[in-house]
Amino acid sequence: MSELFLAVLNRSISAGWIVLAVLVLRLLLHKAPAWSRVALWALVAVRLVCPFSVESVLSLLPSGETISTRILTEQVPSVNTGVPLLDGVLNPILGESLAPHAGDSVNPLQVLVPVLAVLWLAGGAALLAYGVVRYAGLARKVSTAVRLRDSIYQTERVNFPFVQGFLKPKIYVPFSVDPQEAEYVIAHEQAHVRRGDHLWKLVGFLLLAVYWFHPLLWAAYGLFCRDLEFACDQRVVKDLAPSQRADYSQALLNCSGGRHKLGAVPLAFGEVGVRQRVKTILSYKKPRVWIIAGAAVVLAAAAVCLLTDPLGKDISDLDDQLQVFLGMQVAEHNRSQSREVDFSAISYDVMDIQESGGETTLYAWIYYVEYNRQDGQLEKVSASHVPTVITARKEGSQYQLVEYWTPGDGRRFQEDIQEKFPRRLWARAMDGQRSVEKQKAECEAMAEEWLQEEMKNSQWDVIPMVMVDGLYYYSTGREAAPGDGAPEGEITSTVDGTQIPQEDDQSNFGEGFPYRYGEEGTLQVQMNGKWMVFEHREGTGSQVRFGDRWIDSYGLSEETLEWLAWYNSLPEEEQLAVSYIPPQVYERLGLGGDGTEDADAPAAGD
Amino acid sequence: MDTPKVFESEYRFCLILWEHEPIKSSELVKLCKEQLGWKPTTTYTVIKRLSERGVVQNDHTVVTSLVSKDQVQAAEIQEMVDKTFEGSLPAFIAAFTKHQKISDAELDAVQEMIDRYRKGGTP
């Protein structure tokens, strides 16, 4: 019940914005036929009736949901009107007056909202009851009305002409109206019936009973009724000669309490100004085509801008720092502990983002996938697709995790989701099929892109190497026997993996690694508990790729370098099929007639 | 004897009665349906009300009148307006105009507008 009330409240707030817009637009349509203004009010009705709405970038509404359904459980209640100025005024007030104090057993809103919901029901029921009673009373009164012709009746029991009945509407005219005037009155009422006004007014009244608490909607209903009368007048007058228009106006004047003034009566709800109507009737001209066209354009634009909601939330709505923080949280919660992973990707299907009380909560289906790189391809290692709720709070300049929630398994899945998610998101939160393909594709694309970059970059990554005592030592990939040798030094600085170390005790793969000298010309560097052999070679340190190996590039001839550039541009299969390798390259690989072949040399068609 | 009050709709009923009396009430109901558009319940209610007021009498389902046409025409046919209903029409009823407190000044102004228009001027 509280949720329903909050939904109604939200919808009425949206409708309120539309009413304001319509009030402005009515001025634009002042010269246009009255039915165009009635159509504007129809827009308001559509917004109030339709349970769903389409999102569009053209929406002029400030917010799709001003009052979050989480407001009942929040530490500091707040609203999101979509208008920063309003939020800035409202939220501090709400925070002060409605935030639970320490020692309270319950959030004041949890008491207040249900009470308001009950009041809302009561108000609506009262208004409906009033309508029913009045309607029944009127029906009883005119039960003795005498038929004039067709569905037109005359009665002495009321002194105003009107239409009653919804399925088979009947027109009632007082006996006191003289026959000539009666014809105009009847024509007007018949126009009402033809336009279906008796039904539209009923719809309006029902809507008013639901949304009775919003003052703008009462104004809207009043103006709607007014515009209906004008539209009816225009419809009747369209076919009347000028002298007939004067007669029609006279009838209107007489019926408004002129000649038939039977005592002063209070202004009825939504009264229609006689003067304005007569003025409109007497000055009515058939509207020109361009005015009608203009009105149509205004209506269409209004429909698009006012009936659509602002775009739904996306992960990019959050600030960069938060996005990074969330990514880290996701990775941490989903990472497979057992092994190293080359690349992981995350895709968010955002269901909602709620911000309140300094905390941001993300409701999303999170697709997390891990890849390992094998032979230049990415192999999917593991993947998960889970509806997740993450709450983060900004403290100072950092974000802190408040909660990382995922549902339980089996039967608990549905129960947990229904407990955690707002009702309007339940369906979406339980339906994984909806977005999984899209998210999978998104991640795959990210992985591909990463791989391409890696392939490209690894052309520029040089072989791991260190400089010690002015000499270059290159990684061989071989592990040394542990031995007893104590470390003799430590790598104290590092450069980027694409660069050559320039200083002593510097590497291009990291720092903090102890080293010791090994057998002739080798250095052993302790990494991950193992002593890895690094080999000294002359040269400037610059290297060039050869397939997936590195060779020193000093002293290589232009032709060799060109050949290498060509070779490196080939895909792997073609590289393996190449039969000729320049002698200089052979040398560097350590391949030669003496059989000291390097175990990792690519098979080169030998 | 004071002629009892008869309202306009009741007068129309009496016209039918005067033409066809004495008449069985069920026949009367049929006639009222044809000529006045009244539901049977309405006709019975009116018969009852009028007999209470001494305008008609219903003797074992045969209805006759107690006053004559001349008598009723002499007395003024009243218009009864229920004060509680004035102006406050249920919001969803379509009406020609809400009965409103139109001031004399407003009345005159609008009348002038109409008169001017008739004479060929702008409203």
Strands (E), A339-425: 343-356, 359-374, 377-395, 398-405
Tell me which residue in A176, A257, A278 faces B113 most closely, judged by beta carbons: A278
* Section B11-34 average pLDDT: 92
C-alpha span between A41 and A49 (Å, rounded): 13
CB A38 within 8 A of CB A227: yes
At A592, the pLDDT band (50, 70, 90 cuts) reads very low
pLDDT of A51 reads 65
At A153, the pLDDT band (50, 70, 90 cuts) reads very high
Contact check, Cβ <8 Å, A176/B79: yes
pLDDT of A597 reads 42
Rounded to a whole number, what is the distance in Å from the CA of A179 to chain B's nearest CA? 15
* Closest by CA position to A22, among listed A11, A37, A12: A37
Q: Taking CB atoms and an 8 Å cutoff, what residues of chain B touch A135?
A: 90, 92-93
Give the mutation candidate from B14, B16, B93 for the A interface (greatest A CB count, under 10 A).
B93
- DSSP bridge pairs for A373: A378
Q: Taking CB atoms and an 8 Å cutoff, what residues of chain A touch B53?
A: none
Tell me which residue in A175, A185, A249 faces B79 most closely, judged by beta carbons: A175
Give the mutation candidate from B99, B108, B111 for the A interface (greatest A CB count, under 10 A).
B99
- DSSP bridge pairs for A356: A359
Interior/surface letters A350-387, b for 16+ CB within 10 angstroms, e for the rest: bbbbbebbebbbbbbbbbbbbbebeeeebeeebbebbb
* Both structure tokens of A370: 């891990």
Please state which architecture CATH assigns to domain A315-451.
Roll (3.10)
Contact check, Cβ <8 Å, A164/B39: no
Least confidently predicted of A240-254, A461-475, B66-80: B66-80
- A252 contacts chain B (CB < 8 A): yes
CB A511 within 8 A of CB A503: no
Nearest CA in chain A to B83: A265
Q: Which of A168-177, A265-274, A454-463 has the highest mean pLDDT?
A: A168-177
* Section A120-142 average pLDDT: 91
Q: Which pLDDT tens digit goes with each residue over A438-466?
A: 899 999 999 988 888 877 766 656 778 89
At A265, the pLDDT band (50, 70, 90 cuts) reads very low
* Closest by CA position to A270, among listed B19, B99, B123: B99
Q: Which of A106-110, A535-539, B90-94 has the highest mean pLDDT?
A: A535-539
Q: Taking CB atoms and an 8 Å cutoff, what residues of chain B touch A205?
A: 91-92
Rounded to a whole number, what is the distance in Å from the CA of B54 to chain A's nearest CA? 19
Q: Where in chain B is the domain with CATH 1.10.10.10?
A: 8-74
CA distances from residue A410 to A363, A364, A413, A415, B98 in whole angstroms, order as listed = 20, 20, 6, 10, 64
pLDDT of A41 reads 92
- A204 contacts chain B (CB < 8 A): yes
Better-scored residue on pLDDT, A54 or A598: A54
CB B38 within 8 A of CB A144: yes
At A569, the pLDDT band (50, 70, 90 cuts) reads confident
B positions 55-94 inside 8 Å of A (CB): 78-83, 85-94
* Section A133-150 average pLDDT: 90
pLDDT of B33 reads 94
CB A344 within 8 A of CB A422: no
Q: Which pLDDT tens digit goes with each residue over A179-194?
A: 888 999 999 999 999 9
The yes-or-no verdict on residue A480 having pLDDT over 80 is yes
C-alpha span between A499 and A494 (Å, rounded): 10
Residue A414 backbone phi and psi in degrees, to 5: -65, -45
Q: Which of A475-489, A505-519, B82-96 has the highest mean pLDDT?
A: A505-519
pLDDT of A263 reads 37
Least confidently predicted of A153-167, A249-263, A573-587, B16-30: A249-263
How many CB pairs below 8 A link A and B? Answer: 192
Nearest CA in chain B to A242: B118
C-alpha span between A364 and A348 (Å, rounded): 6
CB A260 within 8 A of CB A254: yes
- B99 contacts chain A (CB < 8 A): yes
* Residue whose token pair is 């269901």: A351
pLDDT of A445 reads 92
Residue A63 backbone phi and psi in degrees, to 5: -155, 145
CB A490 within 8 A of CB A514: yes
C-alpha span between A11 and A452 (Å, rounded): 49
Domain boundaries, chain A: 2-143+197-307, 315-451, 459-541, 551-606
Rounded to a whole number, what is the distance in Å from the CA of A153 to chain B's nearest CA? 9
At A605, the pLDDT band (50, 70, 90 cuts) reads very low
Better-scored residue on pLDDT, A38 or A540: A38
Contact check, Cβ <8 Å, A135/B10: no
Contact check, Cβ <8 Å, B9/A221: no
- A240 contacts chain B (CB < 8 A): no
C-alpha span between B49 and B58 (Å, rounded): 11
**Is the CATH code 1.10.10.10 the one for domain B8-74?**
yes
pLDDT of A74 reads 54
